[in-house]
């Protein structure tokens, strides 16, 4: 895996794209189509793309007559069971326009901490990509317990990017880039570039998404970006609405430069 420069995104061989619940569920369900458009464009030029998508619990909630994300594990698992089926259907329905087939990959943190399971997961995804299938990865909420959860799909995406030695990880949210403090606060400044190993002293990253359906935020994205960048994968953090520009290599979002000497597999 070669270290990717910001200007070379359009020539990346393998990219992982992560999208959060709030970006593709509820009032934002319509963002699935433009997300698929951008992925299909990259796929069409030969790039191997893996999509890490949250949303199963959020999409399943209305079918369980829930107005907010459940707090108990059993109800989360039930909502995920219903929502995962619908999530993949919605993606495949949109992908059909490009004759791209999706493959569902559900993982727990335990899978990537177990050498045999990790090897099997990589083998399966390598084969899917070789067959020009689009792997759509999510946490396996139906069987995951509190002890073996990733906790958020930003971390899962970083682990997947490292597992398959992706050139680039794109972390999407509802904000165009990272800021020195929550962007609605006075004095918040946009961060364009973060050098490999650069300390982010004085930054104030919040943790809440504000959507009521997701679990990530700016701090989880920074942590996930660090995991991937330290392992040699470049990271771009930007808004879901800018995914087409991001995958074309336009100068958007916050760029995390990959480490020159990767630290190896970032698992405990």
Instruction: Enumerate the known binding-site residues for ATP.
Output: 18, 173-174
Question: In the block, which residue shows the tokens 């995962």?
Answer: 84
Please answer whether residues 97 and 39 qualify as being in contact, where contact means their C-beta atoms are separated by less than 8 angstroms: no
Backbone angles phi, psi at 74, to 5 degrees: -60, -40
Structure tokens at 253: 């979002």
Six-digit token string for 215: 């679990």
**3-class state of residue 6 by DSSP:** helix
Annotated binding site: 18, 54, 141, 153, 173-174
Burial of 218 (0-12, 13-18, 19+ CB in 10 A): buried
What are all long-range contacts of 70-78, with beta carbons under 8 Å and residues at least 24 apart?
Answer: 73/145, 73/146, 76/141, 77/141, 77/142, 77/143, 77/144
SS3 3: coil
DSSP for 44-62 reads HTT-EEEEEE--HHHHHGG
**C-alpha span between 12 and 29 (Å, rounded):** 28
Query: Quick count: other Cβ atoms within 10 Å of Cβ 249?
Result: 17
Annotated binding site for substrate: 54, 141, 153
């Amino acid at each position: 895996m070669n270290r990717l420069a910001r200007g070379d995104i359009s020539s990346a061989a393998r990219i992982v794209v992560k999208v959060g619940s709030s970006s593709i569920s509820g009032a934002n369900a319509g963002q699935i189509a433009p997300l698929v458009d951008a992925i299909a464009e990259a796929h069409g030029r030969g790039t191997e793309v893996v999509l890490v998508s949250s949303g199963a619990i959020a999409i399943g909630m209305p079918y369980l007559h829930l107005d907010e994300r459940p707090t108990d594990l059993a109800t989360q698992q039930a909502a995920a069971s219903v929502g995962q089926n619908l999530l993949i259907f919605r993606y495949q329905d949109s992908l059909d326009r490009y004759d791209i087939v999706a493959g569902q990959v559900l993982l727990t943190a335990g899978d990537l901490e177990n050498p045999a399971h990790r090897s099997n997961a990589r083998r399966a995804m390598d084969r899917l990509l070789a067959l020009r299938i689009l792997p759509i990865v999510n946490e396996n909420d139906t069987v995951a317990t509190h002890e073996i959860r990733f906790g958020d799909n930003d971390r899962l995406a970083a682990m997947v990017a490292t597992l398959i030695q992706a050139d680039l990880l794109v972390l999407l949210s509802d904000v165009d880039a990272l800021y020195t403090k929550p962007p609605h606060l006075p004095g918040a400044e946009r961060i364009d570039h973060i050098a490999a190993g650069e300390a982010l002293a004085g930054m104030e990253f919040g943790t809440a998404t504000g959507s009521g359906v997701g679990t990530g935020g700016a701090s989880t994205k920074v942590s996930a970006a660090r995991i991937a960048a330290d392992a040699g994968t470049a990271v771009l953090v930007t808004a879901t609405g800018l995914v087409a520009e991001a995958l074309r290599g336009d100068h958007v979002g916050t760029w995390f430069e990959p480490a020159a000497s990767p630290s190896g597999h970032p698992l405990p």
